[in-house]
């Protein structure tokens, strides 16, 4: 539904998979095919210009294409028919050479690859922009203390910078994977009826080489009509990147809960309101990200199931990709755009983060005390003793430190001053700064501008 596009997909990658772009991708294949074949002497040079002139989506009847595709079984058959008729009206001789030696899947798959090339270029731009914003925020909040949470409970202190750095680290890996997959995924599809190019006889390899060069695509070792790992790889990249951002959005929405209130989404007129409750500021960006991500396992499952394709050309599996892959990519575009908006304008309540460290009355620092006491009485006994005192603090709803100071065993080895230091969250973040610095260093190594200093 187009009315939901701005919410669930945005326009970030959607335009690459419009009806016009789908048709244009196949027409670009047809124009390049004529050019390559003329260069190899397979068709007359005079046929190229009349064919290429008609390879414009706006010249075709798209509603008629859609209607005819239902009977034909794919979009390429009626497309080639319309294209041939339009070329014939201008040059009957040239019309003889439209789609020469190719099969429908060659046009459809290569057209899809051309669409994916544009989508990947745009995704890379948006990912680079998102990475820079995230790196700047990581540096900005590198030393901002907050509770770490495991099993949805307070664990040990961390910094908000470390939380952000974990996402940044993952995005840098997705950026590396994008560079690695491009040569494999952006490959020409050209095999003819059964993947042998038999209709071109000995000139098949030469035409394929010229065709790949004309389109700027890699030349695969074999046609890949029923070997769909390329489709799975590019889908997995978009889905995996989105899931990483979905994890961040989920964490962010939990930190935005009223009782936690450590972060909030960007403030904008009319954004995040409720139709019933005027006080609400709902995490609408997080909701859009999560709605998209929650659909992706099902889409990926379809693409995995579609890998089982029959012999040299598929019956059902290939066809199942046609809407599934574009849908996944378009949803990923929305995830990228909403994530950048969220990270760029997020509101961070550093005072509330620090205050939330104190809501357990020092219990979050119990491990530090245990470790210090263990140096005197051993880990097991220290753990047992501090655990008892923590349970007592919970039962009495009182701070942990007075109980520690009054305990004969603890006070025998640790002074009040030592306990105060051990219970200071700022003294218990371990290697946090080291980890954040490593991620920011790798960010710089991958060619990005260094973020603003914190």
Chain position carrying tokens 């680290």: 169
* 250 C-beta neighbours (distance < 10 Å), count: 15
* Catalytic pick among 46, 67, 274, 411: 274
Give the span between the Cα atoms of 427 and 419, in whole angstroms.
Answer: 12
Which residues make Cβ contacts (< 8 Å) with residue 362, sequence separation at least 6? 393, 399, 400, 401, 423
Half-sphere exposure at residue 191, Cβ-oriented, CA atoms within 13 angstroms? 19
Residue 274: active-site member: yes
Residue 151 has phi, psi (to 5 degrees) of 55, 35
* Catalytic pick among 56, 140, 177, 313: 313
Closest C-alpha to 143, from 356, 442, 453: 453
Measured CA distances, 230 to 144, 236, 297, 371, 372 (Å): 43, 10, 18, 51, 54
Residue 313: active-site member: yes
Bridge partners for 159 per DSSP: 145
Bridge partners for 348 per DSSP: 263
Annotated catalytic residues are: 274, 313
């Amino acid at each position: 539904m187009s009315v939901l596009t701005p919410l669930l997909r945005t326009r970030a990658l959607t335009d690459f998979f419009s009806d016009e772009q789908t048709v244009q991708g196949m027409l670009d294949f047809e124009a390049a095919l004529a050019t390559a074949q003329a260069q190899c002497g397979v068709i007359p040079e005079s046929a190229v210009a009349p064919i290429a002139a008609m390879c414009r989506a706006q010249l075709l009847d798209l509603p008629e294409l859609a209607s005819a595709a239902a009977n034909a079984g794919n979009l390429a058959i009626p497309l080639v028919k319309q294209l041939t008729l339009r070329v014939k009206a201008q040059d009957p001789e040239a019309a003889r050479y439209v789609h020469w030696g190719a099969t429908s899947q060659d046009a459809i798959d290569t057209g899809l690859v051309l669409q994916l090339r544009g989508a990947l270029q745009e995704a890379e731009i948006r990912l680079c922009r998102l990475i820079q914003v995230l790196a700047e925020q990581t540096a900005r909040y590198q030393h901002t203390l907050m509770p770490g949470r495991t099993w949805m409970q307070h664990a040990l202190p961390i910094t908000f910078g470390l939380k952000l750095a974990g996402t940044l680290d993952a995005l840098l890996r997705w950026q590396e994977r994008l560079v690695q997959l491009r040569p494999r995924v952006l490959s020409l599809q050209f095999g003819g009826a059964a993947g042998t190019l038999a209709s071109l006889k000995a000139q098949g390899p030469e035409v394929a080489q010229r065709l790949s060069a004309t389109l700027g695509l890699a030349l695969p070792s074999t046609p890949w009509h029923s070997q769909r790992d390329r489709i799975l790889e590019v889908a997995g990249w978009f889905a995996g990147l989105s899931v990483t951002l979905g994890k961040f959005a989920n964490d962010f929405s939990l930190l935005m809960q009223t009782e936690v209130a450590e972060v909030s989404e960007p403030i904008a007129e009319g954004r995040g309101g409720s139709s019933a409750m005027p006080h609400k500021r709902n995490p609408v960006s997080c909701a859009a990200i999560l709605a998209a991500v929650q659909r992706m396992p099902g889409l990926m499952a379809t693409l995995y199931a579609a890998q089982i394709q029959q012999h040299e050309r598929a019956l059902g599996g290939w066809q199942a990709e046609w809407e599934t892959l574009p849908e996944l990519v378009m949803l990923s575009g929305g995830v990228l755009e909403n994530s950048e908006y969220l990270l760029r304008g997020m509101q961070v309540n550093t005072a509330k983060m620090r205050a939330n460290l104190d809501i357990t009355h020092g219990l979050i620092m119990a491990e530090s005390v245990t470790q210090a006491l263990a140096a005197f009485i051993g880990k097991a006994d220290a753990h047992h003793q501090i655990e008892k005192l923590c349970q007592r603090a919970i039962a009495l709803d009182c701070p942990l430190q007075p109980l520690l100071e009054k305990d004969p065993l603890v006070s025998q080895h640790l002074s009040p001053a030592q306990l105060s230091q051990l219970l200071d969250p700022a003294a218990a973040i371990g290697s946090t700064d080291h980890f954040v610095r490593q991620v920011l260093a790798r960010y710089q190594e991958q060619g990005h501008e260094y973020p603003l200093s914190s």
